[in-house]
Structure 1
Amino acid sequence: MLDSVLPGKPPAPGPVPREPPRTAQRRDRTISQRGQNLTAASRRTRRSLLLLVLPAALALSGCVATPQPGITNSNTPSRTVPGPTAGVATTSAPLESTQASNKAPVYWIGRSNENVFLYREFRDVSEDDNPITRALRVMMSQKPLDPDFFTPWQNPKMLATSISGKNVITVDVSADAFNSNLDADMAERAIQQLVYTATAAGASAGLTDTGQQIQVVVLVDGHTDYVAFNRVRLGSPTSRSVGMVAPVWIIDPQEGAELADGAVKISGRSTVPGGKLRWELLRTDGSAKAPYLNGTITAASEADQAGMFNLGVNLGPGSYEVRVSQVDPAGKVKDLNVDTRGFTVK
């Protein structure tokens, strides 16, 4: 008995009380039910979160991963012009040189054989705006002189242009200029028609450095990313696209020109330097046309005059049509990439 009360020595442990069997069973069932309830609640919470997250994830995936069908960027057009046919090269027209004339270079769209290309005319313009704005205004609001050409643009309420020091032309135009229903190929040609006209006007007026590439940025009502004609996204710096310009192109005389009788000069350009061209003159009387003169000529191959051709003929008073086409090396097409001009000799 003395050992049980000695200092520093703990008392001997006694027996541990035991719960009644029914009380322990009730406690185990309660803990189990709580665990099951927590597990079910967790599953419901995860399911609710998934129902909230999945639609958002699917919507985000739809916005980011799925591009708009049929829309290209202006600076990366699709290949709309077929490759060389029968040895015909498709190249970009050289940039226009500076000139003192008050005529503005304007590009139009025209058909040749089964293809569609850009053709240029020089047009009289007013002195109200800067040279680039004047040329684009003609392109968007007037008709071409040649009935074989056309333009899909509409006369806009607002049109303004400016040039940065890095040879970038900015064109700001109102959305009503695009009120035409075009397919993808024609929409890309229409944007290139604007690019060719703006760069030509800037170069011919001496406003840009012709030794460097000139780019065009198109804004619509002051904003980028507008989808022109519901086909082409604008806003990126865009250059002239190779293959858009006409393979054969009569520069002089222009459609409807009136010339003095005697020596008449016919000039133009081919995209095949050193290539052979077939030419023909027709006498016209109303809708009737009769062959008058014909022959062949070779386009210049020199670097500074590559593709240019000149032809001199003596003509008396009357109405004429000149036709120039490339000679198909394979002989499959008689008039390959033909261009025509009607004029009168007084």
Structure 2
Amino acid sequence: MATRTASPTRRSRTALAGFAVLAILLSGCTASGQPAPSLAAGASPAISGGGASAAVPLETSQTSTKSPVYWLGRARDGVYLYREFRDATGTENPVVKALHLMMSVKPLDANLFSPWQPPKKLAASISGHNVITVDVSSDAFNSTVDEQTAQLAVQQLVYTATAAAASAGVIDSGQPVQVMLLVDGRTDQLAFNRVKLGQLMQRDPAMVAPMWIIDPQAGLESAHAQLAVYGRSTSPGADVYWQVSRADVKTDKGTPYLSGHVVASQAADPAAGQFRFTINLPAGRYVLRLFPSDPGPGDATALAWDSKDFTITP
């Protein structure tokens, strides 16, 4: 089936020059509603300090009461990081606000999870060298996890902190951003009794999901028959295959209600890696899934990189 695609909205990148205070400025987010942020064309280098990768661009600044929060999610051959936007009203420090959500609430998507626990203390500051320092009490690590999950959880914090700072416009998103994680004010601690801290960290591109759905978010209820789908891929110009299945009507296993194919924006585009398309649906409950290649006939659930359930109301 052919799909109708919409050109990604071009947004200008907003950098905060000359930012040289130790405390993060409070966010000026005032607008309500789901943001449709643009991804910056630049990217952060890997945790090892290697070269920059276009696979994990920083979020661009946007005016919204939503905070970007990363979660862990199982897909295909492993566990990866996925992002949601969560309601976050108030004038709290934007990085602390996002990290509080990451450690204290459940993801909207039931397929996502977090090993973090609500901390008694949490603080964050930014230096003029694009270094975010996060200080959290040890009770945040009160979960028993394996080595891989512990590594992912630390990167979950790195991604969320940098996303929140970039989204609030309080860092220079055109430069590499680093995170120092302290435990009760101390360096050289172990996160989840497994990951040694005490050194600057950056986004690790190997840990983020290759593609995910930004809109619709899980659990969306919409009265509009025309659904706008918005997502991103870590590979600009990559093929993105999608399927929509009915969740309220019994069909042959693996038979999608609608399916199609789009191409993510090219690397030269300011919206590199983004993709959009629209679909018309009658009232009902649905599941949208994304694939890196044509899943073909049969049950493709296990092949999907991301999925979101939503409802079209009468």
Say yes or no: TM over 0.5: yes
| Secondary structure of the structure 1 residue equivalent to 2:165 | helix
| Secondary structure of the structure 2 residue equivalent to 1:126 | coil
Native 8 Å contact 1:92 1:244 kept in 2: no
2:214 is aligned to 251
User: Compared with structure 1, are the counterparts of its residues 287 and 178 closer, same or farther at alpha carbon in structure 2 (3 Å cutoff)?
Assistant: farther
1:178 is aligned to 141
Larger radius of gyration: 1
- 1:291 shift after superposition: 2.7
Alignment map for 1:83-102 (pairs within 5 Å): 92-102=55-65
5+ long unaligned stretches in structure 2:
1-45
1:311 is aligned to 277
Deviations along 1:272-293, one digit per CA (max 9) or x if unpaired, are 2222222111121289886311
- 1:315 shift after superposition: 1.7
Q: Within 2, Cα distance between the matches of 1:247 and 1:317?
A: 31
| Secondary structure of the structure 1 residue equivalent to 2:134 | strand
Alignment map for 1:286-305 (pairs within 5 Å): 291-303=256-268, 304-305=270-271
Whose relative contact order is higher, 1 or 2, with alpha carbons under 8 Å and at least 6 apart?
A: 2
| Secondary structure of the structure 2 residue equivalent to 1:309 | strand
Q: Within 2, Cα distance between the matches of 1:287 and 1:226?
A: 52
Q: Within 1, Cα distance between the matches of 2:106 and 2:209?
A: 19
Alignment map for 1:30-179 (pairs within 5 Å): 76=48, 92-127=55-90, 129-179=92-142
Q: Within 1, Cα distance between the matches of 2:140 and 2:65?
A: 25
Q: Within 1, Cα distance between the matches of 2:47 and 2:217?
A: 31
2:292 is aligned to 326
- Does 1:274 pair with 2:237? yes
1:341 is aligned to 308
Native 8 Å contact 1:261 1:316 kept in 2: no
In the superposition, the TM-score normalised over structure 2's length comes to: 0.77
Q: CA RMSD of the aligned region, Å?
A: 2.4
Give percent identity, aligned residues only: 52
State the one-letter code of the partner of 1:305. Answer: A
Question: Which is richer in helix?
Answer: 1
5+ long unaligned stretches in structure 1:
1-73, 78-89
Q: Within 2, Cα distance between the matches of 1:302 and 1:345?
A: 34
User: How many residue pairs end up in the alignment?
Assistant: 258
| Secondary structure of the structure 1 residue equivalent to 2:256 | strand
Q: Within 1, Cα distance between the matches of 2:54 and 2:193?
A: 27
Deviations along 1:112-161, one digit per CA (max 9) or x if unpaired, are 11211100000011315211001000000111010110000010100011
User: Compared with structure 1, are the counterparts of its residues 305 and 126 closer, same or farther at alpha carbon in structure 2 (3 Å cutoff)?
Assistant: closer
User: Compared with structure 1, are the counterparts of its residues 223 and 75 closer, same or farther at alpha carbon in structure 2 (3 Å cutoff)?
Assistant: farther
- 1:255 shift after superposition: 0.4
